[in-house]
Amino acid sequence: MSINDKKIMLSGITATGKLTLANYIGAIRNMVKLQDQYENYIFIADLHALTLPIDPQELEQNRRNIFALFRACGIDTNKTTLFFQSDILEHGMMNWLVLTNTTIGELSRMTQFKDKSSKVKTANGMETIPTGLLMYPTLMVGDILLYNADIIPVGIDQKQHVELTRNLAIRLNNKYKTNFKVPEPYIPEVGAKIMSLTEPTKKMSKSDKNEKSSIYLLDDPEKAYKKIMKAVTDSEGKIYLSDEKPGIKNLLTIYSALTDKTLEQTSELFADKNYGELKQAVGEEVKSFLIDIQAKYAEAMKHIDEEAKIGAEKARKVAHKNLEKLMKGMGLNNASK
Ligand code: TYM
C-alpha cells in the first residue's frame, strides 16, 4: 500500500493545565497504537486553550510540555506529523467557514458548552460567558476537516464534537459539492472516561483545582503512588466490577489500561485481594509508567523547536489544500492564487 492509500488519523490535546494519566489512557495510548497503520496528524490545540482566560507564560509552558510529553509517550515524528495548531493559520480561517454553516442552537446544545458556561454563569452571570466557549466545537470541526481525517482517537467526552464534525462534513458536501470524509471517533474499550481519585463520580480533568484528584504525567512518581494509595473507594471491602463502586472500578480500569488487560481479567486477578493490595498494585504500575516517560521527556524537550518546524511545514501544505477546496466550493476563488 502506498502512503497515499493510507487512511488518516488525527487528534489533538488542548494546552490548558497539565496533562494527566486520563489524557494518556483515554487518547494518547490509542494515538500511539494507531500510528503504524495510518497517515497521522497530531497537534497541541493551543487555539482551543484560548476559549477560557489564559496566562500567556503558562500557556507557552503548557504547549511545550505537551509537545514533549507526546514524544515521551511514544508519538514518533517519523510516522506522525506533530505540530502546534497556532502555527497553521488555516485553522482560524477554516473555523470561520465552518462557523458560518452552524446555528447558535446547535452550538449551545453541546454538552461541554453547557457544563463550562454554566460554571461561568453561576459565578459571574450570562454576560461574562466567553464567546470562544460557544465556538470551540467549530474550531475542532475545522481541525478535523483541514486534514480530511478518517479516524479520531479521543476519550468519550469528545464524542459529541466528532459527531458534530460528521454532520458538518455531510452538510458542507451537500451544500458546496466538497468531498470531505465523514470521520469516526475511536474510543478505547477500557479507559474512555477515567475518574477523579477524590470524587470518582466526576471525570479526571487537567483543569481540576484539586491536585489530589489527578495523576499528572509529570508528577513525582512517589507522590503519584501516594495519590493512588489515598484514592477514594467505598466501605464494602470486596473487589468486583460494578457501577455502584466507581472508585474501585476506576482503579481496576487504570490497572487494566496500563497492563493491557481486559477489565474482566483484572477484576478476576484482584477478586480475593483487599483494597490496600489493589491500590499498591495500581500505584506500582502508575509509578513505573511515570518513571519511564519522564526519562524520555527530558530528551524530548531539547528538540521541540526543530521538530515543530518540520511538523508545521508538512501540516500547512495539507491544511492549505483542503481549505482551498472549501473556499472554492463556497465561491471564494481568490485572485492572488
Ligand atoms: P482535551 O485536551 O480535553 O483532552 C485530550 C484527550 O484526552 C481525553 N480525556 C479523557 N479520556 C479519558 N478519561 C478522562 N477523564 C479524560 N479527560 C480527557 C479527551 O477525550 C481527549 O481525547 N477538544 C479537544 C482537543 C481537540 C481535538 C481536536 C481532539 C481539539 N481539536 C480535533 C480531536 C480532534 C480537547 O479539549 O481535549
pLDDT tens-digit readout, 266-300: 999 999 999 999 999 999 999 999 999 999 999 99
User: Is 314 annotated as contributing to ligand binding?
Assistant: no
Residues touching ligand 1 (Cβ under 6 Å) are: 10-14, 22-23, 25-27, 45, 48, 140, 143-144, 152, 154-155, 157-158, 191-194, 203-205
The CATH number of residue 263's host domain is 1.10.240.10
One domain, residues 89 and 238: no
Cell of 114: 453547557
Say if 152 falls within a structural domain. Answer: yes
One domain, residues 185 and 164: yes
Say if 97 falls within a structural domain. Answer: yes
203 labelled catalytic: yes
Provide the domain count of the chain.
Answer: 2
One domain, residues 135 and 51: yes
- Do the beta carbons of residue 59 and residue 46 sit within 8 Å? yes
Q: Which atom of ligand 1 is nearest to the CA of 27?
A: 22
pLDDT at position 119 is 86
Say if 335 falls within a structural domain. Answer: no
Q: What is the pTM of this model?
A: 0.96
Beta bridge partners of 45: 14
Measured in degrees and rounded to the nearest 5, phi and psi for residue 13 equal -130, 130
Please name which of 10, 20, 33, 19 lies closest in space to residue 260, comparing C-alpha atoms.
Answer: 33
Q: Which residues constitute the domain of residue 242? A: 211-297
Say if 198 falls within a structural domain. Answer: no
One domain, residues 152 and 230: no
Say if 204 falls within a structural domain. Answer: no
Q: What single-letter amino acid sits at 4?
A: N
The single residue of 121, 193, 203, 230 carrying the catalytic annotation is 203
CA distance 219 to 39: 32
pLDDT at position 66 is 98
pLDDT tens by residue, 303-329: 999 999 999 999 999 999 999 999 999
Most confident range (mean pLDDT) of 2-16, 67-81, 123-137 is 67-81
Say if 59 falls within a structural domain. Answer: yes
Q: Is 72 helix (H, G, I), strand (E, B) or coil?
A: helix
- DSSP readout, 255-306? HHHHHT--HHHHHHHTTTS-HHHHHHHHHHHHHHHHHHHHHHHHHHHTTHHH
Q: Is 141 helix (H, G, I), strand (E, B) or coil?
A: helix
One domain, residues 184 and 45: yes
One domain, residues 321 and 183: yes
Predicted confidence (pLDDT) at residue 2 exceeds the cutoff of 80: no
Predicted confidence (pLDDT) at residue 29 exceeds the cutoff of 90: yes
One domain, residues 7 and 87: yes
Predicted confidence (pLDDT) at residue 4 exceeds the cutoff of 80: no
> How many angstroms is it from 48 CA to the middle of ligand 1?
11
Say if 199 falls within a structural domain. Answer: no
One domain, residues 46 and 136: yes
Average pLDDT, the chain: 95
230 labelled catalytic: no
One domain, residues 182 and 78: yes
CA distance 51 to 104: 17
One domain, residues 163 and 286: no
pLDDT at position 52 is 86
Kindly state the average pLDDT of the residues 146-170.
Answer: 98
pLDDT at position 294 is 97
